[in-house]
Structure 1
Amino acid sequence: MVEFQTDAEKIAEMALGIGAITLSPEDPYTWASGYRMPIYNDNRKHLSFSKNRSFIAHTLMLPILREVEGFAMQKQYISGTSTSGIAPGYSVAQLVGLPFIFQNKNEVFMINPNDIEFEFSQRDRTFYDAGIYEVDSVSSTCPFAIPFGVHLANRQDLPFSYVRQKSKDHGLEQQIEGVISQGEHVLLVDIAGKDSYADNARQALIYAGAGEVSILSLDSSLYKNVTNSLSNKFLIEKRGELQEYETNTSIIQIEDLVSTGGSTVKEMDRYKELGADVSKCFSIFSFGFPEAEAEFEKRGYTLSPVLDYDTLIKVAKQKGTITDEQFEMLKDWRKDAWNWGEKHGFPKVVKK
């Protein structure tokens, strides 16, 4: 039996083991773009496996701690790309003790994990008495309830998922991100007044197999809109006089998957436009497309995935998930992804 040593190899093994990444070179998937591709990624599945979620958050945390130490004079935030980067980004912020931000409708909202922990600790007795913690998993509406939901799931070592307002129009077209086990008791966390759709989410969870869904409705008072305050002014005494200095806010971006990189760099551009110092993005996985790397590079951004494509297919081969022939097909895809399908008899699907 092969033992995988590096963090990247372990995450690859986890992803293949739970179906968060699937490889099918002989019956490829149709991506939203219409291209036939031999790989499908659904990192949100990791959210429903607490050990995976924790391991990934800790793996992301280590290089980020080194970055944080270098910006001691700046306000520092961890950001998660909306929507799929919010849960892993918040989990990292929870570990390193930094405020978390994300964008919604071009505005930036901040919440502090310490404030959420204080809120829950103040209500622990009430929650226990009401049976709130006697559940099998935690889910949430999105995006504003995700930090509360994943905080509680991390705190209680429970599976997590979140429910979109409606199903996606691409990929697996799913409304629920994560895994719902048949008959389980789910705690649905919702933020009242923030585009609440709790009843719709509850029905979606039941339809997916949940046996019981309890709703925990919280308010949004812990959130702050920081769109216009991403700068840091402070006074320093120099030669007996107080002088004002301004240092940009330092932001580290977290993404779950980088494909072409468009959505990620768009958010990083927005932070830069607002005056923040943002240049580094850490992701769980990246396909390694040259187009994505070029998008980051031309803006002066760096992308650091904890798992890359070459490591993924190497682990898949060692595990016996793919054959030697499939391994060669997957290597070929990496060389020219956009023409791979046509070359192997899988032309692009043109939507009518």
Structure 2
Amino acid sequence: MKQIAEALLQIEAVTLSPTEPYTWSSGLKSPIYCDNRLTLSYPEVRQVIIDKLVKSITPTQVDVIAGTATAGIPHGALLADRLGLPFIYVRSSAKGHGKGNQIEGKLDIGARVLVIEDLLSTGMSSIDAAKAILEAGSKVVGIQAIFSYELPILEKNLAAANLSAESLTTFSELIEVAETKGILNRSELNSLREWQQDPRAWSDLVTS
């Protein structure tokens, strides 16, 4: 949805910097950075995101909303509240103290769970959350994110895990909006597209 892409650019939840790339936690250089937690500070944007999330799912097919810790928790909780559904969240790993929970909240065996994620890159955080839910004896009906980089590795990882994921807006839509608004020149847009096809090769090139 271009409306979401435009909003993310406007509030700088997604920023583009092909000439002075960001450094991801993995160490890779990237011309794009996404922090959808910023949307929580903008009530109108936050409202639009929840409205679109509601329209993207079929409530009768979902029993529980699950947020991935930590970025998927707030939007997941807001969505669950809007739908009147139970909410849980899934840690990246089990706690090392107390009950050692990885899943926080009440999750019944056989419950149909929708996983909410803020961002899809490789998809592994969402996939790990889904696996934890499956191991608990429940069902994962899908993964829903706000934004996806549309990296080739994402589809490979999802297919290997036998899972599906969707996002409200994508890298392709965001780049189209950026081009229409003249945010980047032609060379910068081409650089972003090259990154999207092979982030590691792009990173190696700019650091060599």
After TM superposition, is the score higher than 0.5? yes
In the TM superposition, 1:71-86 aligns within 5 A as 76-86=63-73
Q: Tell me the residue number matched to 1:146.
A: none
Q: Tell me the residue number matched to 2:177.
A: 315
Q: Tell me the residue number matched to 1:255.
A: 117
- How big is the shift at 1:293? 1.8
Q: Tell me the residue number matched to 2:207.
A: 346
What are the Cα deviations for residues 47-87 of structure 1, in whole angstroms up to 9, with x where unaligned?
Answer: 000011110011111121x2x3246xxxx100110110000
3-state SS of 1:312 partner: helix
What are the Cα deviations for residues 294-317 of structure 1, in whole angstroms up to 9, with x where unaligned?
Answer: 221122210101111111111011
Greater fraction strand: 1
The answer to whether the 8 Å contact 2:194/2:202 transfers is yes
1:107 aligns with 2:102: yes
Q: Distance in 1 between matches of 2:117 and 2:184?
A: 27
The answer to whether the 8 Å contact 2:152/2:197 transfers is no
Q: Tell me the residue number matched to 1:69.
A: 60
In structure 2, relative to structure 1, the CA distance for the partners of 1:33 and 1:107 (3 Å cut) is closer
Q: CA RMSD in A?
A: 1.4
Q: Distance in 2 between matches of 1:281 and 1:101?
A: 14
AA paired with 1:38?
P
In the TM superposition, 1:19-38 aligns within 5 A as 19-38=12-31
Q: Tell me the residue number matched to 2:108.
A: 230
Q: Distance in 1 between matches of 2:21 and 2:172?
A: 18
The answer to whether the 8 Å contact 2:151/2:197 transfers is no
Q: Tell me the residue number matched to 2:98.
A: none
Q: Tell me the residue number matched to 1:44.
A: 37
TM-score (norm 2): 0.91
Q: Distance in 2 between matches of 1:31 and 1:107?
A: 25
1:98 pairs, out of 85, 88, 112, with 85
Q: Distance in 2 between matches of 1:94 and 1:336?
A: 38
Identity percentage over the alignment? 34
1:296 aligns with 2:155: no
Q: Tell me the residue number matched to 1:284.
A: 146
Q: Distance in 1 between matches of 2:204 and 2:134?
A: 39
- How big is the shift at 1:285? 0.6
Greater fraction helix: 2
Q: Distance in 2 between matches of 1:259 and 1:340?
A: 15
Q: How many residues align?
A: 200
AA paired with 1:346?
T
Q: Which structure 2 residue ranges, 5 or more long, are not aligned?
A: 96-100
Larger Rg: 1
What are the Cα deviations for residues 205-263 of structure 1, in whole angstroms up to 9, with x where unaligned?
Answer: xxxxxxxxxxxxxxxxxxxxx3xx522xxxxxxxxxxxxxxxx1100000001111121
In the TM superposition, 1:189-268 aligns within 5 A as 226=106, 230-231=108-109, 248-268=110-130
The answer to whether the 8 Å contact 1:81/1:103 transfers is yes
Runs of 4+ in structure 1 off by over 4 angstroms are: none
The answer to whether the 8 Å contact 1:37/1:341 transfers is yes
The answer to whether the 8 Å contact 1:279/1:300 transfers is no
AA paired with 2:32?
I
The answer to whether the 8 Å contact 2:61/2:112 transfers is no
TM-score (norm 1): 0.55
